[in-house]
């Protein structure tokens, strides 16, 4: 006897409508098509136990199961319910006509209760609506409709297999699930009463550099002694980022499901701080028997990926960031195929100048040997440092001169005004086709002289130009709205060039020298 219904096929982070077909005849064999026998074996064990718990016998005879269209199913627990319904239809317990135009999604427990599998993904509503399917899901089915605020498909709610079968046989009614717009219940971004951006002790140039990094989505490398606010500066950049839209938040939620995490729907940009012992697979993602597993880089899309103690990361982990930082895509290749994961996070890497951290400090003497400093600094290779568009150097001496907190009332000292400026500049950068940026002759000459002096690569020239453009847009927002024609002046180029200190040959040469920054003894009467 032949029976068919519909289910949800999941491959990695993608979900699609599939057909579940069962053919039962005389014999004692089980054939499968469209899914592995190992996955079907575990699924049938749960289904047989649930059927016996509900008082129905196991199906007998030769059974052929087909899941189509065939795809690389990485999780089949959510197919327990449609397979069980198809088997019951083939046994004559449920009328086949009630299941041909229905969709079932859920995992069966041994006692017959139905739950939503942890790997459940939002469904593609247009394909379901086109076929006019009746949907049967457990009470947690709001996850399946996370991306669909409105829909016309009827979704019946059932938490037990016996209740569902009674409804399909016309003996019982099931409640209809009313889908809600999950985006309306999202975690909203709020303005904190105490902001780290407003309370951190920074110079005006460093504070402006944080705003430029957030506005232009420029990767930032911060090197300085312990206690100079490097990690706090990364959190300040996160505070300046604009909120996520619905599509970005749902994408993060789908990728978190692939890792087995439960991420709440939120418009707050993510802030991921992986440990320095994180592997390359944990940072960039991998591909296991269950499909694609997103890494910390993909889970930080739209937010900040803070790599604290950057030189302590594995060498392969550091070097693997080259292509993702430049292309904004993580490409994972396996024998089964190749998949591209998004990598649109703002990387903020922090590092000490030496293993002990006091190589640049006047108050404390560095205890590291020249060879250990050399090995430590060489972990940040030239190709990696050149991919960080903004370089910042901090020390305790600068913090002492700045003061306890922000004292001026400039436009980039308030979190609210700085966040508004960042959002506005990001919109202008997206609409760059409508804004004409002209370089003055003086700024072009200054950029050419800097490139010739420091032998900059094409990548570094592009970084300087993009930072100068972001600085020019922020500068114009102080007084008035940017017009259709804007000019990049020498001040914008000078600001961009000041943020490239780690790409200068003399900085690394001095940094690896044992006689660099050897300060004379302080006067006896000095404080």
- Rounded to the nearest integer, the mean pLDDT of the chain is 80
Assigned domain for 460 exists:
no
Task: Specify the range with the lowest mean pLDDT, choosing from 77-86, 288-297, 388-397, 512-521.
Answer: 512-521
Model confidence band, residue 348 (pLDDT cutoffs 50, 70, 90): very high
482 is a domain residue: no
Peptide bond connecting 438 to the previous residue in cis, omega within 30 degrees of 0: no
Q: Residue 256, Cβ neighbours under 10 Å: how many?
A: 18
Same domain, 110 and 201: no
Residue 434, pLDDT above cutoff 80: no
Let me know whether 178 and 207 are in one domain: no
C-alpha radius of gyration, the chain, whole number: 29
Residue 370 located in a structural domain: yes
Task: Provide the pLDDT for residue 411.
Answer: 61
- Model pLDDT, residue 504: 65
DSSP 265-298: PBSSPPEE---TT--HHHHHEEEETTEEEE-HHH
The pLDDT of residue 524: 44
- Please check whether residues 164 and 201 belong to one and the same domain: no
Looking at residue 76, what is its pLDDT?
76
pLDDT at 508: 58
More confident residue, 187 or 167: 167
147-156, 207-216, 242-251: least confident range: 147-156
**CATH number of the domain bearing residue 202:** 3.40.50.300
Parent domain of 388: 196-428
The pLDDT of residue 527 is 34
Q: Give the pLDDT band of residue 518 (cuts 50, 70, 90).
A: very low
Residue 442 in domain: no
With a cut of 80, say whether residue 521 has pLDDT above it. no
- In the 8-state DSSP scheme, what is residue 194? S
Pairing of strands 285-288, 291-294: antiparallel
Question: What share of the chain in percent tops pLDDT 70?
Answer: 79
H or E segment and range at residue 327: helix 322-327
For residue 224, what pLDDT is reported? 86
Sequence-distant (6+) residues with CB within 8 A of 276 are 308, 309, 310, 312, 313
What's the longest Cα–Cα distance across the chain?
A: 102
Cβ contact 474:211 at 8 Å: yes
Three-class SS of residue 73?
Answer: coil
Domain boundary (149, 182, 215) is at 182
Q: Say what the pTM is.
A: 0.75
Are residues 104 and 82 in contact, defined by beta-carbon separation less than 8 angstroms? yes
**For the chain, what percent of residues have pLDDT higher than 90?**
27
Beta bridge partners of 104: 136
Pair 343, 288 in one domain: yes
Closest CA to 449 of 416, 417, 490: 490
pLDDT given for residue 139 in this prediction: 66
Looking at the domain assignment, is residue 280 inside a domain? yes
What is the end-to-end Cα distance of the chain in Å, rounded? 94
**Is 445 part of a structural domain of the chain?**
no
The answer to whether 94 and 56 are in contact (CB under 8 A) is: no
Domain co-membership, 145 together with 214: no
Q: How confident is the model at residue 150 (pLDDT cuts 50, 70, 90)?
A: very low
**How high is the pLDDT of residue 511?**
52
Query: Are 274 and 399 found together in one domain?
Result: yes
CATH number assigned to the domain comprising residue 42: 3.30.230.10
Q: Assess whether pLDDT exceeds 80 at residue 288.
A: no
pLDDT digits (tens, 9 = 90+) for 461-470: 999 999 999 9
pLDDT confidence of residue 21: 92
Provide mean pLDDT across the span 96-119: 84
Query: Do 272 and 375 fall within a single domain?
Result: yes
Strand, helix or coil at 253?
Answer: helix
More confident residue, 145 or 204: 204
Q: For residues 307 and 234, give the distance between their C-alpha atoms in angstroms, rounded to a whole number.
A: 9
Task: Look at residue 353 and tell me whether its pLDDT is greater than 80.
Answer: yes
Q: With respect to residue 441, please indicate whether it lies within any of the assigned structural domains.
A: no
Closest CA to 469 of 452, 446, 493, 485: 493
- CA 59, chain centre distance (Å): 45
Q: For 417, how many CA atoms within 13 A lie in the half-sphere containing its CB? A: 12
If you write DSSP's letter for every residue of 464-504 in order, what string do you get? HHHHHHHHHHHHHHTTS---SEEEE-HHHHHHHHHT-GGGS
Spatial separation of the C-alpha atoms in residues 142 and 319, rounded to whole Å: 41
pLDDT for 359 beyond 70:
yes
Decide the pairing of beta strands 14-25 and 62-68: antiparallel
What does the pLDDT look like over 471-509, one tens digit per residue?
Answer: 988 887 765 555 556 788 899 999 999 888 776 666 655
Q: Looking at the structure, do residues 168 and 274 belong to the same domain, yes or no?
A: no
- Determine the length of the chain: 527
As a whole number, mean pLDDT of residues 374-399 equals 82
For residues 221 and 293, state if they share a domain: yes
Average pLDDT over every residue of 61-80: 78
Q: pLDDT value at position 389?
A: 92
Domain count, the chain: 2
Query: What is the DSSP code (8-state) at residue 169?
Result: T
Residue ending a domain, among 150, 182, 214, is 182
User: Would 514 be classed as within a structural domain?
Assistant: no
Out of 132-136, 347-351, 352-356, the most confident range is 347-351
Give 234's contacts (C-beta < 8 A, 6+ positions apart). Answer: 220, 222, 304, 306, 308, 348, 350
Q: Which range among 70-74, 251-255, 425-429 shows the weakest confidence by mean pLDDT? A: 70-74
Same domain, 239 and 262: yes
> Given this model, what pLDDT does residue 203 score?
84
Q: Which domain-ending residue is among 182, 211, 233?
A: 182
Q: Is 7 helix (H, G, I), strand (E, B) or coil?
A: strand
């Amino acid at each position: 006897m032949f029976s068919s219904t519909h289910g949800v096929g999941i491959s990695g982070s993608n979900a699609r409508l599939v057909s579940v077909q069962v053919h039962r005849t005389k014999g004692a064999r089980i054939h499968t098509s469209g899914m592995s026998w190992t996955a079907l074996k575990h699924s049938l064990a749960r289904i047989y136990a649930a059927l016996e718990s509900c008082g129905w016998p196991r199906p007998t005879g030769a059974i052929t199961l087909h899941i189509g269209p065939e795809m690389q199913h990485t999780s089949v627990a959510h197919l327990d319910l449609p397979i069980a319904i198809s088997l019951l239809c083939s046994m004559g317990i449920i009328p086949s006509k009630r299941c041909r135009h229905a969709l079932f999604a859920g995992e069966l427990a041994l006692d017959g209760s139905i739950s939503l599998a942890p790997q459940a993904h939002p469904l593609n509503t247009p394909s379901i609506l086109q076929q006019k399917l009746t949907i049967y899901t457990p009470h947690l089915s709001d996850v399946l409709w996370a991306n669909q605020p409105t829909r016309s498909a009827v979704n019946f709610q059932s938490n037990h297999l016996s209740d569902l079968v009674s409804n399909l046989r016309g003996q019982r009614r099931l409640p209809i699930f009313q889908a809600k717009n999950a985006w309306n219940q999202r975690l909203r971004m709020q303005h904190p009463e105490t902001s780290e951006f407003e309370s951190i002790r920074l110079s005006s140039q460093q504070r402006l550099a944080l705003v430029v990094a957030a506005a232009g989505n420029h990767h930032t490398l911060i090197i300085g002694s312990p206690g100079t606010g490097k990690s706090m500066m990364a959190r300040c950049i996160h505070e300046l980022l604009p909120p996520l839209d619905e599509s970005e938040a749902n994408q993060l939620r789908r990728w978190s499901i692939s890792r087995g995490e439960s991420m709440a729907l939120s418009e707050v940009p993510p802030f991921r701080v992986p440990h320095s012992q994180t592997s390359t697979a944990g940072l960039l993602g991998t591909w296991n028997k269950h499909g694609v597993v997103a890494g910390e880089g993909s889970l930080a899309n739209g937010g900040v990926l803070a790599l604290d103690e950057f030189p302590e990361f594995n060498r392969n982990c550091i070097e693997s960031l080259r292509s993702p930082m430049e292309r904004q895509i993580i490409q994972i290749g396996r024998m089964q195929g190749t998949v591209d994961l998004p990598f649109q996070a703002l990387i903020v890497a922090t590092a000490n100048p030496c293993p002990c951290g006091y190589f640049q400090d006047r108050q404390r003497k560095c205890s590291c040997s020249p060879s250990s400093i050399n090995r430590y600094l060489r972990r940040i290779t030239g190709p990696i440092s050149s991919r960080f568009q903004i370089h910042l150097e901090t020390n305790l001496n600068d913090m002492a001169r700045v003061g306890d907190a922000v004292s001026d009332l400039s436009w980039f000292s308030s979190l609210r005004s700085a966040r508004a400026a960042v959002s506005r500049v990001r919109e202008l950068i997206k609409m760059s086709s409508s804004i004409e940026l002209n370089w003055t002759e003086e700024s072009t000459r200054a950029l050419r002289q800097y490139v010739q002096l420091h032998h900059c690569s094409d990548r570094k020239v592009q970084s300087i130009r993009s930072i100068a453009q972001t600085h020019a847009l922020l500068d114009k927002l102080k007084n008035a709205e940017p017009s259709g024609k804007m000019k990049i002046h020498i001040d914008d180029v000078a600001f961009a060039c000041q943020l490239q200190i780690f790409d200068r040959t003399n900085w690394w040469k001095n940094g690896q020298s044992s006689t660099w920054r050897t300060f004379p003894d302080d006067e006896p009467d000095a404080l």
